[in-house]
Amino acid sequence: EDNITVRELAEKLNKTPAEIVKKLMELGTMASINQVIDFDTAEIVASLYEVKVQREIPEEEKLLQEIVDDESQLKPRPPVVTVMGHVDHGKTSLLDRIRKSNVALGEAGGITQHIGAYQVNINDSKITFIDTPGHEAFTAMRARGANVTDIVVLVVAADDGVMPQTVEAINHIRAAGVPFIVAVNKIDKPEANPERVMQQLTEYNIVPEEWGGDTIFVPVSAKTGQGIDNLLEMILLVAEMQELKANPDRPAEGVVIESKLDKGRGPVATVLVQKGTLHVGDCLVCGSNMCKVRAMMDDKGRRVEKALPSMPVEVMGWSDVPEAGGKVIACDEKIAKQIVELRLNEKKLEEQKKSSRVSLDEFFKHM
Ligand code: GTP
Ligand code: MG
């Protein structure tokens, strides 16, 4: 933490606490000796004595030094595309359709059980897709989806129009600052009205290119397959402009897309690799969980030995189920153990703080 008490600051500056209290008062801050002041205030006080202060580097950062990639190490990587939209507007159907036609195009392996993330091949280019639920309860998942993504496909059903989770998705997209494409779905339905969807979205400053705006709209039907090729083409077009790159030759970094406790396999997490290459045998940390990667499966349930940037893989070997959205970092096993210990301690301290606060409240209640 960046905070320090007046007493600690005085010690560091080799002054009496009373003098520091006085200086703070001159600066317009009333503080007692044991009071905690923030970094910026401490910095100002220190500067009055011509002392430069530095933030303390947390233990964890000392252990896990961030790897800075050199521009020359970066290689092109597939785009990560998240599909968002209101409940039942056809996100999963759209993804199923894309995957199915992809399999029909000669991709090896069959379709397995539902998975929240998968990769497809479109004329020598790969695209990683992430599905998100439209149900109200899953706001956090959509926010997370928007954050791990390069491009969002906003699905709006042509027979239903803009709905609450459509608007919420727009907000997530804007907060994340990612480009998006609107897929107007279910155009096969007799009651479909794509024009109305376009009209409704202008109220959110989303204007189609054909109306002079800068948003790509693609009418599609997950049911008949109409427009799907066009949608994929547009995704690749937007991705190309982004020039997405990552360094594959370094320890992996990624994020947990979904996780569960599997009866037979134990804790399993779908990890999207964002940087580096993830290998079987690697050691990972995620929150206060560790993983010695025992096995990895691709989105078709095939065992793989490694996963490159933008590839989603199911990872087995976790100490416990890691939280969805958690950051995953590959590192030396010894360091991983130390980090997990640090984080577990922190957790314990937090809980103690919470419970002592509660008991104090209880105490005052009974006075
Ligand atoms: P949530 O994950 O619950 O938010 O829903 P979703 O957006 O994934 O929708 P899903 O793909 O489950 O589709 C909902 C319903 O709409 C299903 O009954 C689909 O068969 C139907 N549906 C999806 N796309 C189309 C389409 O293009 N045309 C028609 N006619 N029906 C569709
Ligand atoms: Mg769905």
pTM attached to this predicted model: 0.81
Q: Is the CB of 96 under 6 A from ligand 1?
A: no
As for the ipTM of the complex, it is 0.99
- 161 with 155: CB under 8 angstroms? no
Q: What is the mean pLDDT of the chain?
A: 89
- 115 with 299: CB under 8 angstroms? yes
Taking the centre of ligand 2 as the mean of its atom positions, its distance from the CA of residue 89, in whole angstroms, is: 8
Beta bridge partners of 209: none
Taking the centre of ligand 2 as the mean of its atom positions, its distance from the CA of residue 356, in whole angstroms, is: 43
100-114, 137-151, 234-248, 349-363: which has the minimum mean pLDDT?
100-114
Report pLDDT for 143: 83
Residue 87 CA: nearest ligand 1 atom is 4
Residues with CB under 5 A from ligand 2 (ion): 91-92
Q: Which ligand is nearest to the CA of 84?
A: 1
Taking the centre of ligand 2 as the mean of its atom positions, its distance from the CA of residue 132, in whole angstroms, is: 7
215: CB partners within 8 A, 6+ apart: 180, 181, 182, 201, 206, 207, 208, 209
Handedness of CA 20, 21, 22, 26 (dihedral sign): positive
Residue with the smallest CA separation from ligand 1 atom 5 is 88
Q: Is the CB of 92 under 6 A from ligand 1?
A: yes
Percent of the chain whose predicted confidence (pLDDT) is above 90: 67
CA distance 98 to 238: 18
Reported in sequence order, the residue ranges of 26-139 that DSSP labels E, i.e. its strands, are 36-37, 75-76, 80-85, 117-122, 125-131
Q: Is the CB of 159 under 6 A from ligand 1?
A: no
- Token look-up 């998705």 returns 169
Would you state the structure tokens that stand for residue 164, as one six-digit string? Answer: 């609450």
- Token look-up 């050691």 returns 283
Any binding-site annotation on 132? yes
Report pLDDT for 126: 95
For the chain, first and last CA: distance in Å? 34
Taking the centre of ligand 2 as the mean of its atom positions, its distance from the CA of residue 96, in whole angstroms, is: 10
pLDDT tens profile 164-212? 999 999 999 999 999 999 999 999 999 999 999 999 999 999 999 999 9
Which amino acid, residue 290? M
Q: Identify the band that residue 366 occupies on the pLDDT scale cut at 50, 70 and 90.
A: low
Q: Residue 18 class from Cβ within 10 Å (0-12 exposed, 13-18 middle, 19+ buried)?
A: exposed
Residue 185 CA: nearest ligand 1 atom is 27
Q: Which ligand is nearest to the CA of 135?
A: 1
pLDDT tens profile 30-53? 889 888 888 889 999 999 998 888
Taking the centre of ligand 2 as the mean of its atom positions, its distance from the CA of residue 92, in whole angstroms, is: 4
pLDDT at position 281 over 70: yes
CA distance 118 to 107: 13
